[in-house]
Structure 1
């Protein structure tokens, strides 16, 4: 079975490739592609694989953009951080997915489902891409504009544009406003990342930042990125080289 992986974080892609080959040694990884452009170039010049594993959000756009340039006929298993309710539309259209962080069990189950559904999944893949893109777009459009935080005995609504960033401190997630106020949160950074919408970006394991809180981004040795916010933070915010292109594209509004 020939598989192409579309994932802009190289470490994640290599881990996925290793796990797939451990599950099924006969699997051949034909290519690891890191962007929409790279994927389009590859599929225009190479034969199609049997299956694609693809992240949804790539550095230069959503992976569904690939189907607007080429006409794919290959089933896709999405590797995504979107929560399960958001992916019901994918299942309804015959597209399988696994949630990050993935396990060998989830990968094995996805491969088995692909094999069982292969004849049904090989049909109108383009339409399924369009349906999935519509589902994600609707989620983003319907995202809440406020978040509720607990302060003493009260629940306070805080507008998302008033939030500068979320950060993990001593295993507790805190919300920081542009005015420097902070509130302890009950949700994890992963849960907040899923509900904050496209104006927020998980720059590293500790920080989820609002686009309008970023003052500048500067190069940081070696091949990393340093993010400076309009308000000071206790620690420097460093973006890995694997995420660098993705966050730069996000800052440009792509």
Structure 2
């Protein structure tokens, strides 16, 4: 079995490699990768292994972001220091996790699960990555997180849970609050999407919407969705059929 380890702490990676070899001597550690950038560069020109062991938090971001650049086709077992709440959320997505510091028993159990679920785990790994990334972002973001808005000669802090959505209108970006106020933002929707994390969803080119501002989603011909908000808003928010399943999965988390 060929394995790649993605871990930015070399001693931890080497310890993991030694433990895996002890459990199963025929395991081949193909490479130890230390960053998202290195992983993307490696997988761009090299074949993927049978299995990946990956830390979640790397020096240059969350390892889930690798799947934004490379189509990961093999199962991934994550080594994480996140608490049980996070693990429960992740396991709902069907990926295996082991807590740091990991034990031989935990590693052995993870390998057993890989062998038993190999085909299932590999079948929808890209969707699992996206869902896990959204979960982590949502955990890292909380109601105390804020966005600063310049209004006339003042800077106003807005908690993320007070913001209903962002929209692009006539080449300007607007922030709309639940109270019905709107403010012009200097950032693009892409920049804001990176800031606010998984509690917002990019519905289309024009709208970035907070989960708590969604009243419901209804079918819209042909095979699209229309988003109804909890606050009055005249324009329709339509989600394409390509994004429909991803949105429904996000709403179901």
Within-5 A mapping of 1:1-254: 1-142=1-142
**CA–CA distance in structure 2, aligned partners of residues 143 and 25 of structure 1:** 48
2:123 is paired with a residue whose SS is coil
| Contact in 2 for aligned 1:54/1:79 (Cα 8 Å) | yes
Q: Deviation of residue 142 (structure 1)?
A: 2.3
1:122 is paired with a residue whose SS is helix
Q: Deviation of residue 85 (structure 1)?
A: 1.3
Q: Deviation of residue 88 (structure 1)?
A: 1.7
2:87 is paired with a residue whose SS is helix
**CA–CA distance in structure 2, aligned partners of residues 73 and 81 of structure 1:** 25
**CA–CA distance in structure 2, aligned partners of residues 143 and 21 of structure 1:** 44
After TM superposition, the score normalised by the length of structure 1 is 0.56
| Post-superposition CA distance 1:193-247 (Å, at most 9, x none) | xxxxxxxxxxxxxxxxxxxxxxxxxxxxxxxxxxxxxxxxxxxxxxxxxxxxxxx
1:38 is paired with a residue whose SS is helix
C-alpha RMSD of the superposition: 1.2
1:106 is paired with a residue whose SS is helix
**CA–CA distance in structure 2, aligned partners of residues 142 and 120 of structure 1:** 33
Q: Deviation of residue 87 (structure 1)?
A: 1.7
Q: Deviation of residue 143 (structure 1)?
A: 6.8
CA distance 1:81–1:144, shift in 2 (3 Å): farther
| Contact in 2 for aligned 1:52/1:76 (Cα 8 Å) | yes
Structure 1: stretches of 5+ with no match in the other structure: 146-254
- Quote the residue 1:246 is aligned against: none
**CA–CA distance in structure 1, aligned partners of residues 89 and 95 of structure 2:** 9
**CA–CA distance in structure 2, aligned partners of residues 143 and 100 of structure 1:** 28
- Quote the residue 1:244 is aligned against: none
| Post-superposition CA distance 1:99-158 (Å, at most 9, x none) | 00001111001111111111110111111000001111111112768xxxxxxxxxxxxx
1:25 is paired with a residue whose SS is coil
- Quote the residue 2:150 is aligned against: none
| Contact in 2 for aligned 1:89/1:131 (Cα 8 Å) | no
Q: How many residues align?
A: 145
**CA–CA distance in structure 2, aligned partners of residues 89 and 50 of structure 1:** 25
**Larger radius of gyration between Structure 1 and Structure 2:** 2
After TM superposition, the score normalised by the length of structure 2 is 0.56
Higher relative contact order (CA 8 A, sep 6+): 1
